Structure 1
Amino acid sequence: MFLTTLLDRHAILGNVSVNSKRQALQMVADVAARQLGLEAAEVHQALLEREKLGSTGVGMGVAVPHAALAGLDRMHGIFVRLDAPVDYDSIDDMPVDLIFALLAPENAGTEHLRALAKVSRLLRQKDLREQLRKMENPDAIYAILTDIADSNAA
């Protein structure tokens, strides 16, 4: 799975200001509503429900929130870089400033798990995280994410 098929350059926000995990997830839901034609409230609720099962803060300032939603025909990614980290109940207790959300069709099954694994592996790369933290332009963020991810997949 290549990130170019998962992540649309219009589903990337850089330098976003929020005060909480809840607001960060609302930002993801707003992008999903705008880009995918979903109801923002439905997406937000699905992400919050998933967080009740355990935090999707995977450590090192990274979160990978995810949810399965009706109305999707394939996996979609949304990337948000916060201008200041927020408390996220991460496994390492570090606040989060890099969020890569995954939205899957209700019947995605193993495709959803493969996408989660790929994104998690990708964002474990320290150099990549440092580059992403310096970027504000969504096109630059897209280029870095897709170039690195797709070259690793080859």
Structure 2
Amino acid sequence: MIITDFLAPHHVVLDVRAPDKRRLLEDLAGRAAAALGLDAGLIQRALEAREALGSTGIGSGIALPHARLTQVTRPTGLMLRLRPAIAFEAIDEQPVDLVFLLLIPTEAPSEPLNALACVARRLRDPAVVGALRQVRDPAAFYAVLTEDR
């Protein structure tokens, strides 16, 4: 599985403002709902339930919020770069500015792990993360995120 399997170029949004984690999850839910034709409240509740288990802030300014939903038929991603970074209760307690939302079908046991692992691997590369923080347009951001290395 590769990122282009679940992230479309038009699902990259740069320099989003969110005052706090709750509002960010609300924003993500609204964007995902519009893209998938689902109820934003349903998505937000699923994201909040997952965050209640432990923060998806993985450190180094990166968060990977995700949720399983029966209404989702295939993994779907949304990538945001925040300006400014916000507190996210990340494991390293650093503010988050790169957020990859992943919604996954409830019925696919291995797809979620493969998709999350794919994103996490890519965002573990300091060169990729540095470039993502510098590019100025969504097309360049998408290219950096999805190009093979």
Residues 104-136 of structure 1, C-alpha deviations (whole Å, 9 max, x = no match): 011121110111111111101111111111234
Partner SS, residue 131 of structure 1: helix
Contact 1:15 / 1:136 at 8 angstroms: preserved in 2? no
What per-residue deviation string (whole Å, max 9, x for no partner) do you get for residues 21-68 of structure 1? 111112211111111111111111110100000000000000001001
RMSD, aligned CA: 1.1
1:18 aligns with 2:18: yes
For 1:55, the equivalent position in structure 2 comes to 55
Distance 1:30 1:140 in 2: 24
Aligned partners of 2:52 and 2:136: how far apart in 1?
31
Give ranges in structure 1 of 5+ residues lacking alignment. Answer: none
More off after superposition, 45-54 vs 6-15:
6-15
Q: Which moved more, 1:126-135 or 1:13-22?
A: 126-135
Q: How does 1:94-105 map to 2 (within 5 A)?
A: 94-105=94-105
Structure 1 residue 46 corresponds to structure 2 residue 46: yes
Q: When the two structures are superposed, what TM-score results if normalisation uses the length of structure 2?
A: 0.95
Is 1:30–2:19 an aligned residue pair? no
Alignment of 1:84-123 (within 5 A): 84-123=84-123
Unaligned runs of 5+ in 2: none
Letter in 2 for 1:43: I
Counterpart code for 2:64: V
Q: Look up the match of 1:7.
A: 7
